[in-house]
Amino acid sequence: MDKIIDIDSPDEFIEEIEKIHGALPKRINANAKNVEKGLSKLVLTLIELIRKLLEKQAMRRIDAGSLSEEEIERVGETLMKLENKMQELKGIFGLTDEELNLNLGPLGDLM
């Protein structure tokens, strides 16, 4: 949750900046393996979020009767292929579903 800080003077501002600075790590452990896994985690999380949104939208359209049988078949096949590719990519990068899970606030967790 965001914290609102009431600052009345430049000295108070500097104090707050020093508190924040003290909470940050002195060094960032950035090696090639960490960067690759972090980037792959970010990209796959975004893809999974989009895949789930597309799946929900497809279900709404199916329930509303706005898709033909052929369109339903194509959407289902496409979503299955995307899900299979996601499983493959998670295996390649050594990621689990839990690692890709995002807390979406009032919407709950992604997965």
- Record the tokens describing residue 77, joined without a space: 């096949």
* Cα–Cα dist 90/36, whole Å: 13
Phi, psi of 67 (to 5 degrees): -115, 140
Placement of tokens 């999974």 in the chain = 48
Query: pLDDT below 50 — which residues of the chain?
Result: 1
Boundaries of domain holding 82: 29-101
Residue 20 within any structural domain of the chain: no
Amino acid at the residue 45: T
Residue 18 within any structural domain of the chain: no
Residue 41 within any structural domain of the chain: yes
pTM of the complete model = 0.61
pLDDT value at residue 100? 85
For the chain, what is the domain count? Answer: 1
pLDDT value at residue 1? 46
Buried b / exposed e along 1-35 (16+ C-beta atoms within 10 A): eeeeeeeeeeeeeeeeeeeeeeeeeeeeeeeeeee
